[in-house]
Amino acid sequence: MNPDHSDYVGATAFPPAPGLGGGPPAETVLSVKDLTVTFPSDDGPVQAVRGVSYDLHAGEVLGIVGESGSGKSVSSMAVMGLLPKTARTAGSVLFRGRELLGLSEKEMTGVRGRQIAMIFQDPMTSLNPVYKIGWQLAEAVLAHHDVTKAVARKRALELLEIVGIPSPDKRIDQYPHEFSGGMRQRVVIAIAMANDPDVIIADEPTTALDVTVQAQVLEALRAAQQETGAAMVLITHDLGVVAGQADRVLVMYAGKPVEIGPIDGIYYHPRMPYTVGLLGSLPRLDQRSQEKLTPIPGTPPSVVNLPPGCPFAPRCPLRTDICLQSEPALLPALGADHEAACHHSDQLTGEGAMDIFSTDPNAVPGERPDAEAGPPPAGPGTEPGPPPAGPGTEPGADPQNGAAQ
Amino acid sequence: MLAFTIRRLLVSIPILVLSTFLVFLLVAWGADPLGDFKAKNPPPSAAEVAAREKALGLNHGLLVQYWNWVKNLVVHGSFGPSVQGSAFDINAELSRRVWVTFRLVICAIVIALILAVIVGVITAMKQYSITDYVATLIGFFFLSLPVFWFAILLKIWATDINNSLGTDIKTLGPPGGQWGGFGSWFGFLLLPTITLALSSYATWARFQRASMLDVLNSDYMRLARAKGLSPSRVMVRHGLRTALIPMTTQVTLDVAAIMGGTVITERIFQWQGLGTMFINAIQTQDTNTVLAWLLISATLVIVFNLIADLLYAVLDPRIRLA
Amino acid sequence: MADNLPERDVNDEPVEPEVPPGGRGAEFLGVQGQQPGLTIDAVTPGGEDILQGGTEPPDREFAVEARNQWQLVFRRFRQHKLAVASLVVLFLVILFATVGPVVWKYGPNDFTNDFSVGPSLSHPFGTDSNGADHMAQVMAGTQLSLKIAFTVAIAGTFFGSIYGAFSGFYRGITDTLMMRLVDLVLTIPALAVGALLGKKFGNNWALLAVVLAGLLWTGSARVVRGQVLSVREKEYIEAARALGATDRRIIFRHIIPNVAGPIIVLFTLLVATAVLTETALSYLGFGVQFPDISLGSLVTAGETAATGGRGWLFYFPGLFIILIALTVNFIGDGLRDALDPTQTKARA
């Protein structure tokens, strides 16, 4: 919204945001409170999101993790106001103190791309097939800046370079079908950073990509975030992706957050059996154990007519009567910044997935560790990563493309 | 682009040649140019029939006849003699009537197309609204309407309106092939154009709606909105622009049907165009005129095909390289 | 930044646009599309119901699947109110045309002493200037027009589907040649050639129907070809091939049953097209010829009568043409929705 383009062009040299971890608490840019989204359906209303709250601080990366249909994508689309008209949204979405829910389509156009940008899952279909890459990039720039086409094009070139497109001066005049999937996703990332947004929402940015290019795209994403200094919401079902990128993690289940906390806390001290289960289904490189991965038994519940109680209870080895009666609230579990929604989170100190899930009578028979016949547990990755395996490995219990995507 | 155009042009030529051959076979099989002559009373002698056959070039085998017909067409640009006698010059008659028909065809295509795109886009954007339902119902009705019957109905209505209001809606075609002034054009064109455009409009509007719906649900429309583009820009530059591409093919497919429709429309509104000429030619079994009409119609279709292909290449960059 | 990114990704082949070769309708297959197709005989559950004749009963497990599939189709069809109403109306029209002439006291060529009277109790549709009962004429015309339309639709869809299936199945040069022929046929207006040939064959309604079918089969051929192109890439075809099934077996036992849905829809739409084409030809005098009666030739007779104030001779035959075409179109629409709720494409 800044007509002065000399200032604007210079904006690419925006100083990288100070990484989190130290320093004073940063300003809250995006604050989501009690967000609910309901879709009408033939079988009654579908509560895709049942009350999501989180604060996103400037420059931080928040990972939202969950299975398909857990509402993680829908909640972000609601933030952008991109849900179909049939969706009913309630709650509050504050961007720098300004309420976004209920804004008109016209008012939202000023927010989208400029203040909050979004990256979608499938790069193969995200770009318009009939326009050149450069045109689509420049269009994004021109949408929010009163600059000449030549300036917009120059900016497009710059952006392509930042996201790692080789020979951008040639690539800029090509069409999307001349780009591979990974390259297209970089273009989408470049579009997202075109206007120096304060928040970038990346909705499963690597899911549709080949394992070999996922790391490169994540690299580009990281570059984009550092370049713009934007805070980022990284939605994924891949705990490996989150581990390498996020500062904090929000775990969602059946339309609700079940655990939120700093990355280390979530990975080393999970306080919700579902999180424990997710971590247990990941192959690990740092532990050369002969154990098999531990799957979570059962499937996620349907979000139409959820029964009372904790939605995870039917799959939970720790469930007791209270779990079937009342749904636990998100409460501080391990310090003020680590919250979990579980009646039994105090029992989960130091327990691993093996300890709690394998004793479960529902566990699939034959899943006990078998040193002789079992395949080596190590994942396919080669890079020595932070706690779990690098990008590309998926939790075993996650079917792709749920209904609510 | 030029290479593509030339290549595409070259592909059209064999299709046109094959098309002439198919048309020739059909006419040779379906019509008997001497039927009326032989049925005369008293019956003509064998010698008279033979002389007549020789005059029309029917005394050769089919392939030789075809060769002669093509040669005559290419070398002399002539469609050959008519059984309606030497006073009936097919070429002169065609050139007198061709613009009457083409004007009608082009008007109908343009009007049907504009309406179809507008209605198709609106109904797609307001899917499942009252507007959508009503427009869809009307479309189905038009699609199921016998055009010849509806044309007569329009004539009856127009006469009634003229009588009661003193207006001048033309229910019959202009006396000659030509007429002057846009104002008088419009009066003559109104009813025949509606008639001819109707069923194409219905098909196209439905097609445009489906095409637009596909685009509206696409990921790139969502990205376009996420960029912060204005709703109108999203709709026009990303939605409509892309949704128009499949229409080019659909329109081409229906050109032949519209050309066939002129036969009915011209007959009912008594236009002195190619359609009326064609009906007369079938009635008199004037094979060379029938051939000429079918050839013109096939050429028109092939030309439209060519235009559509080129347009497609311009509109959709994915095609150009192929 | 750009330097330490490997080039590999860039050199990937440009990816084709995500349009399946058949265009639409891949999802159409719904349940059966996901069958792994491990046994050759039971692979195509959806189709078994249609192609019942001559095929041995499928596995029990698959039979259950098949019934569910078609029950689902039936349930969805019932939700399309207009289609259900149209089915009832069309049934009544068919009764009117078949049972009507048997029951009604006048025949189309019986002359009464009521010349040119308007609709009344004794002559619900009025009479013409010869005193013939118009309702009897409309009954006879509807009967013949329906007979021709259904013959055209059956013959046209049958030939077009087989043609398209072979073309799409063999692909390559066969496909190219076969589709060029379709393009060729499409360059010629069906109505014009119909007029030319109808003049010769119009005195025999069955021949006329065959001529019309010969002009109207191209639509089915194109759509079925597209369907086959996408179906043939499915795993169960590959499985059948791996088990040594012959081409003919694959086409007739696996591919055709799986494109049955679109074929049914095409059939209904062709009935509507055929009715409109036949009546138009008959109106021009190049279709059904005297003494046979078609709804089209009745309109010709009624055209002058209408301007002379005897509108009933013009309105009734037209009304019945619309009734047939409209109900058939609605039924086709209902079937399309029922067979594939995700497909929103217009008719082919």
Q: Could you tell me the residue ranges of all domains in chain A?
A: 26-246
Q: How far is CA A317 from the centre of its chain?
A: 27
- Give the tokens for residue B234: 């999203």
What was the pLDDT predicted at A288?
59
CATH superfamily of B94-315: MetI-like (1.10.3720.10)
Domain A26-246 has CATH 3.40.50.300: yes
> What angle separates helix B90-125 from helix B245-269, to the nearest 10 degrees?
130
Kindly identify which residue of chain A lies nearest to residue C2, measuring between CA atoms. Answer: A164
What was the pLDDT predicted at C278?
92
Q: What is the mean pLDDT of the segment spanning A130-144?
A: 92
A47: left (phi over 0), alpha (psi -120 to 50) or beta: beta
Q: Residue C88 burial by CB count (10 A; 0-12/13-18/19+): exposed, middle or buried?
A: exposed
Task: State the sign of the Cα–Cα–Cα–Cα dihedral B276, B277, B279, B280.
Answer: positive
Q: Is the pLDDT of residue A369 over 60?
A: no
Q: Is the pLDDT of residue C42 over 70?
A: no
A193 touches chain B (CB under 8 A): no
What was the pLDDT predicted at A290?
61
Q: Which residues pair with A32 in a beta bridge?
A: A54, A93
Please tell me the pTM assigned to this model. Answer: 0.79
Q: Pick from A164, A181, A212: which is nearest to C1 by CB?
A: A164
Three-state DSSP at B316 gives coil
Q: Is there a contact between A182 and C12 if contact means CB atoms under 8 Å apart?
A: yes
List the one residue out of B272, B284, B282 whose CA is nearest residue B101: B272
What was the pLDDT predicted at A354?
60
Q: Which of A12-16, A110-114, B203-207 has the lowest mean pLDDT?
A: A12-16
Residue B118 CB neighbour total at 10 angstroms: 12
- Give the tokens for residue C155: 């013959």
What was the pLDDT predicted at C9?
36
What was the pLDDT predicted at A16?
39
Q: Is the pLDDT of residue A296 over 50?
A: yes
Q: Which of A188-197, B220-229, C54-63, C96-105 has the lowest mean pLDDT?
A: C54-63
- Residue B320's pLDDT band, with cuts at 50, 70 and 90, is low
Ranges of H-type helices in C187-234: 190-201, 205-216, 218-231
Q: Pairing mode, if any, of strands A61-65 and A46-57?
A: unpaired
List the one residue out of B298, B257, B300, B301 whose CA is nearest residue B20: B298
What was the pLDDT predicted at A287?
61
pLDDT, tens only, B206-222: 999 989 988 988 899 99
Assess contact for A183 and A175: CB atoms under 8 A.
no
List the one residue out of C125, C127, C100 whose CA is nearest residue C113: C127
pLDDT, tens only, A313-360: 888 888 888 888 888 888 888 777 888 888 887 777 765 656 666 544
Residue among C16, C181, C187 with most chain B CBs within 10 A, to mutate: C187
What was the pLDDT predicted at C302?
84
pLDDT, tens only, B2-49: 888 888 888 888 888 888 888 888 888 888 777 777 777 777 888 888
Sheet harboring A46-57: ordered strands across? Answer: A46-57, A28-39, A88-95, A98-99
Q: Is the pLDDT of residue A17 over 70?
A: no
Kindly identify which residue of chain C lies nearest to residue A164, measuring between CA atoms. Answer: C2
Kindly identify which residue of chain C lies nearest to residue B205, measuring between CA atoms. Answer: C346
- Residue B117's pLDDT band, with cuts at 50, 70 and 90, is very high
pLDDT, tens only, A240-251: 888 888 899 999
Q: Is there a contact between A80 and B226 if contact means CB atoms under 8 Å apart?
A: yes
Three-state DSSP at A61 gives strand
Assess contact for B234 and B221: CB atoms under 8 A.
yes
pLDDT, tens only, C206-247: 889 999 999 899 988 988 898 888 888 888 888 888 888 888
- Cα–Cα distances in angstroms (integers) from residue C176 to residues B187, B307, C325, in the given order: 46, 21, 34
Q: What is the mean pLDDT of the segment spanning A301-321?
A: 81
What was the pLDDT predicted at C60?
37
- Residue A134's pLDDT band, with cuts at 50, 70 and 90, is very high
- Residue B321's pLDDT band, with cuts at 50, 70 and 90, is low
What was the pLDDT predicted at A62?
92
pLDDT, greater one: A10 or A40: A40
What was the pLDDT predicted at C62?
39
Q: Is the pLDDT of residue B68 over 80?
A: yes
pLDDT, greater one: A370 or C99: C99
The residues, ordered by sequence, that sit 6+ positions from A53 with a Cβ below 8 Å of its Cβ are A32, A33, A34, A35, A257, A330
- Residue B122's pLDDT band, with cuts at 50, 70 and 90, is very high
What was the pLDDT predicted at A231?
92
Beta strands in A40-113 (DSSP E): 46-57, 61-65, 88-95, 98-99
- Give the tokens for residue B243: 């949704």
pLDDT, greater one: C347 or A151: A151
pLDDT, greater one: C239 or C131: C239
Q: Pick from C185, C200, C284: which is nearest to B264 by CB?
A: C284
The residues, ordered by sequence, that sit 6+ positions from A269 with a Cβ below 8 Å of its Cβ are A334, A338, A349
Residues on chain C touching A180 (C-beta within 8 angstroms):
9-10, 12-15
Kind and range of the H or E run holding A187: helix A181-193
Identity of the amino acid at C111? F
pLDDT, tens only, C319-340: 999 999 999 999 988 888 887 6
Rg value, chain B, Cα: 24
Q: Which residues pair with A199 in a beta bridge?
A: A116, A231
CA distance B211 to chain C (A): 7
Task: State the sign of the Cα–Cα–Cα–Cα dihedral B278, B281, B285, B291.
Answer: negative
The residues, ordered by sequence, that sit 6+ positions from B288 with a Cβ below 8 Å of its Cβ are B56, B69, B79, B80, B81, B82, B83, B90
Residues on chain B touching C330 (C-beta within 8 angstroms):
140
CA distance A125 to chain C (A): 8
Assess contact for B254 and B203: CB atoms under 8 A.
yes
Q: Which of A2-11, B250-259, C183-192 has the lowest mean pLDDT?
A: A2-11
What was the pLDDT predicted at C18?
37
Tell me: cis bond preceding A361? Omega within 30 of 0 counts: no
Q: How far is CA B30 from the centre of its chain?
A: 22
The residues, ordered by sequence, that sit 6+ positions from C237 with a Cβ below 8 Å of its Cβ are C37, C231, C250, C254, C255
pLDDT, greater one: C72 or B288: B288
Buried b (16+ CB within 10 A) or exposed e, B283-297: ebbbbbbbbbbbbbb
Between CA A157 and CA A58 the distance in angstroms is 27
Three-state DSSP at C118 gives coil
Assess contact for C58 and C37: CB atoms under 8 A.
no
- Cα–Cα distances in angstroms (integers) from residue C149 to residues C100, C207, C209, C314, in the given order: 19, 12, 7, 21
Q: Is the pLDDT of residue B204 over 90?
A: yes
Q: Is the pLDDT of residue A102 over 90?
A: no
pLDDT, tens only, B237-292: 999 989 998 888 888 888 888 988 999 999 888 888 899 999 989 888 888 899 89
Three-state DSSP at A309 gives coil
Kindly identify which residue of chain A lies nearest to residue C3, measuring between CA atoms. Answer: A164
Mark which residues 125-154 of C lie under 8 Å from A by CB.
Answer: none
- Give the tokens for residue A364: 């699939």
Q: Is the pLDDT of residue A44 over 50?
A: yes
Residues on chain B touching A127 (C-beta within 8 angstroms):
220, 223
Q: What is the mean pLDDT of the segment spanning C104-133?
A: 77
Q: Residue B144 burial by CB count (10 A; 0-12/13-18/19+): exposed, middle or buried?
A: buried
Q: How many B/C residue pairs have CB atoms within 8 Å?
A: 146
Between CA A268 and CA A287 the distance in angstroms is 14
Q: Where do you find CATH 1.10.3720.10 in chain B?
A: 94-315
Q: Is there a contact between B294 and C344 if contact means CB atoms under 8 Å apart?
A: no
Between CA B49 and CA B40 the distance in angstroms is 11
Q: Is the pLDDT of residue A203 over 60?
A: yes
Q: Pick from A164, A181, A223: which is nearest to C15 by CB?
A: A181
Backbone angles phi, psi at B128, to 5 degrees: 65, 15
What was the pLDDT predicted at A149?
93
Residue A362 CB neighbour total at 10 angstroms: 12
What was the pLDDT predicted at A374?
37
Mark which residues 111-130 of A lie under 8 Å from B by CB.
Answer: 111-114, 117-118, 120, 122, 125-130
Average pLDDT, chain C: 75
Q: What is the mean pLDDT of the segment spanning B84-93?
A: 81
pLDDT, tens only, B142-187: 999 999 999 999 888 888 888 888 777 777 776 654 555 556 667 7
CA distance A221 to chain C (A): 12
Q: Within 13 Å and on the Cβ side, how many CA atoms surround C73? A: 23
Residues of chain A with pLDDT > 90: what percent? 27
What was the pLDDT predicted at C52?
36
Give Dmax over CA atoms of chain A in angstroms: 69
Kindly identify which residue of chain A lies nearest to residue B230, measuring between CA atoms. Answer: A109
Identity of the amino acid at B186? F
Q: Is there a contact between B242 and A191 if contact means CB atoms under 8 Å apart?
A: no
Kind and range of the H or E run holding B220: helix B219-226
- Residue C69's pLDDT band, with cuts at 50, 70 and 90, is low
